[in-house]
Structure 1
Amino acid sequence: MSVLHSAIHKIDKKPDGTPAVLFFGSAEQVESQARDDLVQQFNESYNAAAGKGWGFFHAESGAHPLSGWLGKYLAGGSDFLDFSTIAVEHLTRLMEESNLTTGGHALFCHYRQGLTDYLIIALVQEAEAVTMTEELHLMTVKRLDLDHIRLAARINISEWQNNPQSRQYISYLKGKQGRKLNEYFRDFIGAQEGIDGPGETRALLKAFSDFVESEDLGEESAREKTDTLVSYAMTQAKIGEAITLDELSEVLDDDQPLAFAEFVQGKDYGLSASIPPDKKTLNKFRRFTGRADGLSISFDHHLLGDGVEFDEAGGTLTLRKLPTQLTDQLKRAAA
């Protein structure tokens, strides 16, 4: 990862209703290990955060000016500090208009990962920490609290510039701090929701379950493929990247690398070519399996309560939507 530009400003907003006070950074953050560590730690915390939205810019307007300012900076019409300064002024105005009390340090960072450029914008709070002096005395210091980021967005600049039809080049946190706070920050970014991450992830898992059923895989093989899918998807979530159907298809089967992708393309699942992984949904996806006295049962977690009903008191399973192959065998046996 290479940090190209970064700047930090401070918005002092107290809960007593007094106007916010904005302290501008006088220069960009100089190149240092501390700066690079800050960006690295932010990305790790951001990638691990649950509950993200994915979207794209509203058309540039007076209500949503950020994309225009960003485009001007990228085209060389302004430097990064000027871009961050005018952006944080707009952020502060929205904060005042919304009557919100959440100030903090406004972090702006343009960095490059591989061949892809990103822009981070986040409002980071301070937290107290205890350190030790050289004289072995305890001392309380303030630090940027990267473990509890509440308001943040990451823009895939390369995707925005090279694929203007994309609807998922912006990701933003959708935390539990309240709808009003989330919407105010999303309005500042100028983002509109484009991809439903949890919904897309559920659709992907449904497609995978249908694929496993259509292939008539054995229990062990089905479990291995399930583990492979979840492992790949979780890795993508950890590094903040989308699931791509073609890559997932290759991971699932080296011998038939196009099999899953072609299966999905031949059905009406409504899946995008790249899917933002939702960790909560993935964590719930696993297979229940059991074998005893000639009976072998295996089904995916998401079927519980729909295709499979469990009666805990009676210790029974009720199966619905039986596979056609199984139904045909039962009919022949009953004839």
Structure 2
Amino acid sequence: MPIRHSIIHQIDKKPDGTPAVLHVSRTELAKSQVTEKLLNDFNEAYNAKQGKGWGFFHAESGAHPFSGWLRAFIEGFDFIEFSHTAVEHLTKLMEESNLSVGGHVLFAHYQQGMTDYLIVALLQHSESITVNADLSVTPSKHLDFGNINLAARINISEWRNNPKSRQYISYIKGSKSRKATDYFRDFIGCLEGVDGPGETRTLLKAFSDFVTAEDMHEDNAREKTQALVSYSMAQAKIGEPITLNELSELIDEDRPAAFYDFIRNKDYGLSAEIPADKRTLNQFRRFTGRAEGMSISFEQHLLGSKIEFDQEAGTLMLRGLPTQLTDQLKRASP
């Protein structure tokens, strides 16, 4: 993961309402193993965060100037000056939003594979204790990657090469403070473009329909479900989207385009690449079974809502039956 540029500034803002004080660095972080570990640890923590949003830049304007500054940097403007301009704007928005907590602001431009990324993140410290060489103890501070709430990652290559994309920015939505998330998203100038959980749910619905349409045997359906979940979770872990072509090849090696063609022919409205939502994937598990001319298959999240299982009686109660099934039952009734 070559790091091209990285720098850290500090916004000192106390909860007592006093104005924020910005401390800017005049030099980039040295390219070293420590810097690489910093970025690797951040990316690992960022990828593990659930509840991300995906979007694209507002049109460049006085209210949303960040994309213009980033474009100027990519075209040759000095990275340090770019980060100074951006962090000054962030400090101003933090003051206007009356948010009490500052932190260290990381800007990192790096390459992964053939793709360029920019990270912007507000990092906090945690207190800990360290044991010294003389076996005494002293308090120490360390960056708390487990508590990242304001951060965004911009796929620069996607932004530059595919201007119609609506998902080249990912950001942490956050569950504690919508106001903080909104001000940070305004700082980046990001419009929400792709609903990650919704897209993932649509993909899982398409897969369930595919399994039904193919009339798969129970073992085969279970194997393909595992392939889908394993691949999707692996993509989420490294912060990469689910690519439908790749997924289709994994699901059926003998017919690598079968699932992809099924999605396209049924017009589910999915993009060729979609962000994987880990929470939605964690809820997905398929129960299947066949016996004496009866085939039952449903997803785990339906238990307790549309499907109730009576363990003692060994029965299922179904609600919200498919219209096609109810029509057939009505026609068959005397």
Paired position in structure 2 for 1:59:
59
Structure 2 counterpart of 1:34, which letter? V
Paired position in structure 1 for 2:34:
34
Instruction: Summarize the Cα distance change of 1:211–1:320 in structure 2 as closer, same or farther, 3 Å threshold.
Output: farther
User: Which residues of 2 match residues 306-317 of structure 1 at below 5 A?
Assistant: 308-310=307-309, 316-317=315-316
Q: Which runs of 5+ in 2 are unaligned?
A: none
For residue 112 of structure 1, report the CA deviation from its aligned partner.
0.2
Q: Tell whether 2:153 aligns with 1:154.
A: yes
Instruction: Summarize the Cα distance change of 1:327–1:221 in structure 2 as closer, same or farther, 3 Å threshold.
Output: farther
For residue 304 of structure 1, report the CA deviation from its aligned partner.
3.6
In the aligned structure 2, how far is the partner of 1:43 from the partner of 1:55?
Answer: 19
Structure 1 counterpart of 2:124, which letter? Q
Instruction: Summarize the Cα distance change of 1:316–1:107 in structure 2 as closer, same or farther, 3 Å threshold.
Output: same
Paired position in structure 1 for 2:183:
184
Instruction: Summarize the Cα distance change of 1:16–1:309 in structure 2 as closer, same or farther, 3 Å threshold.
Output: same
Q: Tell whether 2:112 aligns with 1:113.
A: yes
Instruction: Summarize the Cα distance change of 1:316–1:162 in structure 2 as closer, same or farther, 3 Å threshold.
Output: same
The alignment's TM-score, normalised by the length of structure 1, stands at 0.93
For residue 122 of structure 1, report the CA deviation from its aligned partner.
0.2
SS at match of 1:140: strand
Structure 1 counterpart of 2:18, which letter? T
Q: Tell whether 2:84 aligns with 1:85.
A: yes
Paired position in structure 2 for 1:68:
68
Q: Is the CA contact 2:218–2:289 (under 8 Å) kept in the aligned structure 1?
A: no
For residue 275 of structure 1, report the CA deviation from its aligned partner.
0.7
SS at match of 2:145: coil
Instruction: Summarize the Cα distance change of 1:100–1:126 in structure 2 as closer, same or farther, 3 Å threshold.
Output: same
Paired position in structure 2 for 1:139:
138
Offset from partner CA, 1:80-110 (integer Å, 9 cap, x none): 1110010000000000111111200000000
Offset from partner CA, 1:17-48 (integer Å, 9 cap, x none): 00000000120001111111000000000000
For residue 288 of structure 1, report the CA deviation from its aligned partner.
2.3
Instruction: Summarize the Cα distance change of 1:15–1:313 in structure 2 as closer, same or farther, 3 Å threshold.
Output: farther
For residue 177 of structure 1, report the CA deviation from its aligned partner.
2.3
For residue 148 of structure 1, report the CA deviation from its aligned partner.
1.0
Paired position in structure 2 for 1:285:
284
Paired position in structure 1 for 2:236:
237
Offset from partner CA, 1:127-185 (integer Å, 9 cap, x none): 11222211122221111111210100000000000000000000000111211111000
SS at match of 2:59: coil
Instruction: Summarize the Cα distance change of 1:327–1:186 in structure 2 as closer, same or farther, 3 Å threshold.
Output: closer
Q: Is the CA contact 2:115–2:157 (under 8 Å) kept in the aligned structure 1?
A: yes
Q: Which runs of 5+ in 1 are unaligned?
A: none
In the aligned structure 2, how far is the partner of 1:23 from the partner of 1:249?
Answer: 50
Structure 1 counterpart of 2:192, which letter? E
State, as a whole percentage, how many aligned pairs show the same letter: 66
For residue 293 of structure 1, report the CA deviation from its aligned partner.
8.7
Paired position in structure 1 for 2:248:
249
For residue 274 of structure 1, report the CA deviation from its aligned partner.
0.7
Instruction: Summarize the Cα distance change of 1:322–1:217 in structure 2 as closer, same or farther, 3 Å threshold.
Output: farther
Q: Is the CA contact 2:249–2:255 (under 8 Å) kept in the aligned structure 1?
A: yes
In the aligned structure 2, how far is the partner of 1:228 from the partner of 1:255?
Answer: 14
In the aligned structure 2, how far is the partner of 1:327 from the partner of 1:57?
Answer: 46
Q: Which is worse superposed, 135-144 or 289-298?
A: 289-298
Q: Is the CA contact 2:218–2:290 (under 8 Å) kept in the aligned structure 1?
A: no
